[in-house]
């Protein structure tokens, strides 16, 4: 019975490829390679309703596509993303997570991908992307200059504005994101607030 209920609920849900769908191919998370492999395979592409990825900002305020705030587990370098410039990060080799062990081809490496590069890929493949969702999560409570940069880059891709949703655990990110859009007459992009159960439980007391 549980399996039947699970399948019924699954059919009602949107299936979003986490970290650009790293578990769907033999390529590492958040690489152009994993996206290309999915878009080259019609069956894989049709198996999901969208893609999710996180961004962090470099020392020189460039948004890059990465899940962690630090380099240690996913590259041959170490330290926080925000302590490195984009030029420095482009010299670092990224790959599979060290914490995942040897069950993947750990010899494969790639260079970190910027938000612009990822959006360019989606825009160039719009005929295949169609109406699939692009969920972009901001990982920290960012300063205004970073949010301005983020919002401006998204506005540079109006062809994707109906696909993109900005996600964050930080309501101030979403608030100022919407404010910047309105102030600059940018095309409005949807936002969703993330939360966890302990926050829900806390709110429910009032």
- Report the C-alpha gap between 30 and 65 in whole angstroms: 6
Per-residue pLDDT at 7 = 64
Both tokens of 54, joined, read 């996180």
Instruction: Please state at what angle helix 115-124 crosses helix 32-39, rounded to 10 degrees.
Output: 10
- Rounded mean pLDDT, 42-58: 97
Q: How far is CA 76 from each of CA 64, 111, 177, rounded to the nearest angstrom?
A: 17, 11, 33
pLDDT higher than threshold 90 for residue 176: yes
Place of tokens 């994993």: 34
The helix/strand count (H/E) of the chain reads as 9, 7
Per-residue pLDDT at 70 = 94
Per-residue pLDDT at 198 = 54
The whole-chain average pLDDT of the chain stands at 90
* pLDDT band (50, 70, 90) for residue 9: low
61-92: pLDDT as tens digits:
999 999 999 999 999 999 999 999 999 999 99
pLDDT higher than threshold 80 for residue 2: no
pLDDT higher than threshold 60 for residue 161: yes
- Report the C-alpha gap between 133 and 147 in whole angstroms: 21
The answer to whether 30 and 38 are in contact (CB under 8 A) is no
- Report the C-alpha gap between 30 and 55 in whole angstroms: 10
Comparison of pLDDT for 104 and 181, the residue scoring more = 181
- Report the C-alpha gap between 14 and 12 in whole angstroms: 7
Comparison of pLDDT for 181 and 139, the residue scoring more = 181
Question: What's the predicted TM-score (pTM) here?
Answer: 0.89
Beta strands at 133-138 and 50-57: parallel, antiparallel or unpaired: parallel
Per-residue pLDDT at 202 = 45
Task: Find, among 144, 139, 74, the residue nearest to 112 by Cα.
Answer: 74
């Amino acid at each position: 019975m549980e399996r039947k209920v699970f399948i019924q609920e699954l059919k009602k849900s949107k299936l979003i490829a986490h970290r650009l769908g790293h578990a769907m191919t033999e390529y590492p998370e958040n690489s152009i390679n994993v996206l290309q492999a999915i878009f080259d395979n019609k069956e894989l592409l049709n198996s999901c309703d969208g893609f999710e990825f996180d961004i962090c900002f470099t020392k020189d305020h460039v948004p890059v596509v990465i899940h962690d705030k630090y380099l240690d587990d996913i590259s041959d370098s170490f330290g926080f993303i925000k302590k490195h410039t984009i030029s420095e990060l482009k010299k670092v080799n990224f790959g599979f997570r060290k914490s995942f062990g040897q069950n993947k081809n750990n010899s494969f490496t790639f260079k970190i991908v910027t938000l612009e590069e990822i959006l360019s890929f989606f825009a160039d493949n719009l005929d295949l992307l169609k109406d699939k969702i692009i969920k972009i999560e901001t990982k920290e409570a960012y300063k205004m200059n970073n949010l301005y940069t983020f919002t401006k880059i998204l506005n540079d891709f109006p062809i994707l504005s109906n696909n993109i949703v900005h996600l964050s655990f930080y309501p101030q990110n979403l608030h100022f994101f919407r404010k910047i859009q309105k102030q600059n007459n940018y095309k409005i992009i949807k936002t969703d607030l993330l939360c966890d159960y302990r926050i829900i439980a806390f709110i429910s007391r009032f």
